[in-house]
Amino acid sequence: MKLELIATATFGLEAVVKREIEALGYKILRSEDAKITFLGDERAVVRSNLWLRTADRVQIKMAEFAALEFEDLFQQVKGIAWEEWIPADGKFIVNGSSVKSKLSSVPACQSVAEKAVVERLKECYGVDYFTKSGALYEIKITILKDRVTVTLDTTGPGLHKRGYRVENVEAPMKETLAAALVQLSFWKKDRLMVDPCCGSGTLLIEAALMGRNIAPGLNRHFTAEEWDAIPAKLWKEERKAAFEAIDYDTELQLYGVDINPRAIKAAIANAEEAGVDDCIQIRQGDAANIGTMDFGKKEGGVVVTNPPYGERIGDRKSIDRIYDAFCQFFREHPTWSLFMVTSDKTAEKKAFGRPADRRRKLFNGRLEVCYYQFHGQKPDRTGRTEK
């Protein structure tokens, strides 16, 4: 059946998510703040959950309508064909949000919507009581400026929950944001990438998953896998296709460095869990010594990094040492590019010595950050720097 699907996204990453959806072959219907609406079917639910690297979750859009009174909300929600998705034993829950709307009480909206679903299913199944002992169905009622969007979540725990994070460090970056940072950089699988402040290895692991063409959701479970409305054979077929699509032959050049031995331990453990430890070289070291590291002898490298900042900044002198080292390294290696995310407003000139070629406002959790992009010169075919 034809479905309107919504891929939710962190603010600032909508264009990245849109490109991913288009790459999967689906038609974009609308691109709005924090969500991309596209056309698909049951198989699209499966493929989107398995393959989207930068989206937060995948939802089925059940309805959209205006509502100024609770009766409007009740009747419209009751009019949705819930029986096509939720069986008699389905465990359905309703969550909601309301912004700049007359129906401003979220608990009341949730209660009215849940009552509407119950009444609809009572009439369809001829029962007065629901055990809710079966699969989970999470219904979301989102009200913005008196316009209601009703969705059914297919993902469960957010898409950033890849399943490989077995060891953590302080202030870890979400996997979806890390994947977006790599996609927004100049890195391609035939180029060298370095993260000199690698922490638990998320940026490098996400790059390795891309380089090997490993579906990010391949080794996890999704809520919709338990639904009768999406045949189990679709999940089996798409997982099989994803396994067959893995590129084991490409040699990747991925290097991670961190001064913290706990971070090195975590990065190695996470890379092993993700199955990409064979293509990432991780070692302990000080980012301030980037100029003495052997990968600096190569041309056209890409540094993608999340240096300490905000609550993670620690000693100001230490971070300034890193900036000074970056500035000198990129001055001596003009074909290298730097892609750095930070909330530190002093970083731009200190880390590269000049204004960034591009900036992008993003959010790391609730913290507003900037993704500074410094583009290196292209080396010619002989390896010399083009003038």
Burial class (CB in 10 A: 0-12, 13-18, 19+), 286: middle
- At residue 387 the predicted structure's pLDDT band, cuts being 50, 70 and 90, is very low
| Mean pLDDT calculated for residue range 177-193 | 96
| Mean pLDDT calculated for residue range 273-297 | 91
| Mean pLDDT calculated for residue range 149-176 | 94
For residues 178 and 206, is the Cβ–Cβ distance under 8 A?
yes
pLDDT in tens, 48-76: 999 999 999 999 999 999 999 999 999 99
pLDDT in tens, 80-126: 999 999 999 999 999 999 999 999 999 999 999 999 999 999 999 99
Q: What is the pTM of this model?
A: 0.94
- At residue 317 the predicted structure's pLDDT band, cuts being 50, 70 and 90, is confident
Strands 136-144 and 91-99: parallel
Percent of the chain clearing pLDDT 90 (strictly above):
85
- Per-residue DSSP letter, 366: T
- At residue 259 the predicted structure's pLDDT band, cuts being 50, 70 and 90, is very high
DSSP 347-359: HHHHHHSS--SEE
What angle separates helix 202-211 from helix 175-183, to the nearest 10 degrees?
60
What is the rounded distance in angstroms from the CA atom of residue 25 to the CA atom of residue 241? 16
